[in-house]
Amino acid sequence: MVMNKIYNPNKIGEMRPNQLITTFGPGAIHDAVKDSVTVLDINYWGEAGRIINDGRLASYFGVTHFRSPRTSYGDDLPVTSFPYYHVCSNTKCNRLFDIRNPKFDLTTYLRQGATCPDCGYKAYPARFVIACKEGHLDDFPWDWWVHKGKNNCHGDLKLYSTGLSSSLSEMVVECVKCGKKRSMAGSLDKDEFIQNGFKCTGHHPHRPKSKNEHCASTEIYPAQRGASNIYFPVIRSAISIPPWTNPLHILLDEHYPKMKEMEELGYGDVFDRVYEKFFKEKYSRSEFDNAIRVREEKIREFIEIKEMEYKAFVNHADLDYKKDYRFFKALEEIVPTYLKKYFNRIIRIERLREVMVLQGFMRIDPPEPEVDKLNKIVKLSKPKDNWLPGVEVNGEGIFIEFNDKSIEKWMEIESVKRTSEQYKILFKDYCDKKGWQNSKERDAKYVLLHTFAHLLIKEMSLQSGYSSSAIKERIYSSPTMHGILLYTGSSDKDGSLGGLVELGTEDNFKKLLKAVLENSLMCTADPECTNHDIDVDTLNGSACHSCAMISETACENGNRLLDRSYVAPLDGKEENSFFRELIGELCEIVV
């Protein structure tokens, strides 16, 4: 049966719900069918989609719930045209104009897209924008550029090419009023703006009714509107685990926002009334009170959420974690004797749910996944009913817990101890330079887990049928955690096809591990990759795109903190390898 879509004249493009969270959230630039736009802040949305509950993430963010983007045939997401400046497609006109001019006609725009106010031809959005690390974004200062900093002319502008190529040196901006012309050569050089005293405008295009902020940033970053560093979403996610997925907690999540609202309005005995009406028939008062206590425990650091997940994985067979299979179902494999030195557990997660929440965004520099206080983040404006946008991802995965005693012994090797200290110092310096507070320590154990996860993802993509960008990682590294979760899923389906979880069976995992260890011994960029020392900027050792790096959408740390020498015995770094003996036994390769 095919449903007829309702025609909506206000519609200018489409977007999947998970794209709004991961790629084109408020503040990002999205090339729609008719124009280039940015989605407005969530307090402009009006009616949102269905409610998503996750008590831990709600506690961490200080909200009552999350909402998925509304999905219908129109009027789901409000947007504004950005960049504001557009260029006429008529080569005899070439008018460069601000779409917010007095001649703008909304009816024509919705029907045809942007059009030139002079000749009526279709117009396309300008290629260039400017941004700063404080999260501001604005049009390229065309008037300022063509008049070399003296922008008191305010004449009409033209933008055209003088040659056959699209190089910046052949693009010219011209002021019709005074006749000034200037090539776009050097327009993407931030020093041009710094040296000529250009100041950030403090503009947020996703907040059209807000005044420009005062910005103290001295660095302006000109860029093309599709540049990847213009928008980095700040996303936090959690795997739904018992007891948070038990029926009692699910029912409590449904009523909790209203309970808190009534409590703030001064209603007495709110919890007593709710218990009597909705919970008494199925649950005792002590069970209800305990659920309330757990729900209201404030989670202050994101690592606490990971610790809860880790505990659920390793204790999945306990009765408390087996009460509900709706979102979480795990099956532990027997670890073969020859692998017990390296792994404590291999657990196939046959069913899992991940809740992904968009907190805000950053520009120029990407966020770090476990830093709780990012000082350059532009947070979304929470609506009155106190929610943030989110999506649910249903899928499957494999959890691997490393042998903690073997890791401790490996960490005592002198060469590993030395490089571990280097990673600690460099990562701390990296966070300090960015002004990030409360960052977690990154040592050799984290780098080992992270690198091994990447190598597994690359090989899993070949054996499971999923693309490497579809398999995500979750690294559990702390004094009490030493494991990795590799998982996949889709926000548009109820799950996945089972290809990933099947790789966790004993026979399949042996083949997978053997291939991973064999491939880790070589890189097409060797000997340069093998001989590479820890880099101050990338925080990587022997790792590159040919061997250990994966799609950044799949990596939780932006392809940082990777070192293949911790996995495989590389030339000159043999002592660093955690799996050195296993490679000899399993792969029959003596190094």
C-alpha 491/C-alpha 489 separation (Å) is 7
Q: What is the pLDDT of residue 444?
A: 93
Sign of the four-CA dihedral 425, 430, 434, 437: negative
Strands, E assignment, 295-383: 329-333, 343-362, 378-379
Domain locations in the chain as residue ranges:
302-586
Residues of the chain below pLDDT 70 = 1-13, 72-75, 151, 242-247, 249, 295-296, 318-325, 372, 437-439, 490-498, 588-591
377 bridge partner residues? none
Largest separation between any pair of C-alpha atoms in the chain:
82
387 bridge partner residues? 65
DSSP string, 515-563: HHHHHHT--TTTTTTTTPPPPTTT--SS--TTTT---TTT-TTTT-S--
The two tokens of residue 587 are 């792969």
* Helix (H), strand (E) at residue 508: helix 506-520
Q: What is the pLDDT of residue 243?
A: 61
Helix, strand, or coil (residue 171): strand
C-alpha 517/C-alpha 566 separation (Å) is 11
Chain position carrying tokens 């998503």 = 52
The two tokens of residue 123 are 């117009």
C-alpha 169/C-alpha 123 separation (Å) is 22
Residue of 131, 85, 110 whose CA lies nearest to 229? 131
Angle, in degrees to the nearest 10, between helices 444-464 and 404-411: 130
End-to-end CA distance of the chain, in Å?
62
Q: What is the pLDDT of residue 494?
A: 42
C-alpha 478/C-alpha 305 separation (Å) is 13
The two tokens of residue 352 are 């899992």
Q: Residue 188 in contact with residue 222, Cβ under 8 Å?
A: yes
For residue 196, report the phi and psi dihedrals to the nearest 5 degrees: -100, 10
Q: What is the pLDDT of residue 461?
A: 87
Distances (CA, A) of 537 to 123, 190, 193, 427, 545: 41, 20, 25, 10, 16
The two tokens of residue 556 are 């939780």
3-state secondary structure 242-281: CCCCCHHHHHHHHHHHHHHHHHHCCCCCHHHHHHHHHHCC
What is the Cα Rg of the chain in Å? 27
Q: What is the pLDDT of residue 324?
A: 60
User: What's the gap between Cα 60 and its chain centre?
Assistant: 17
Residue of 426, 478, 483 whose CA lies nearest to 453? 483
Q: What is the pLDDT of residue 517?
A: 92
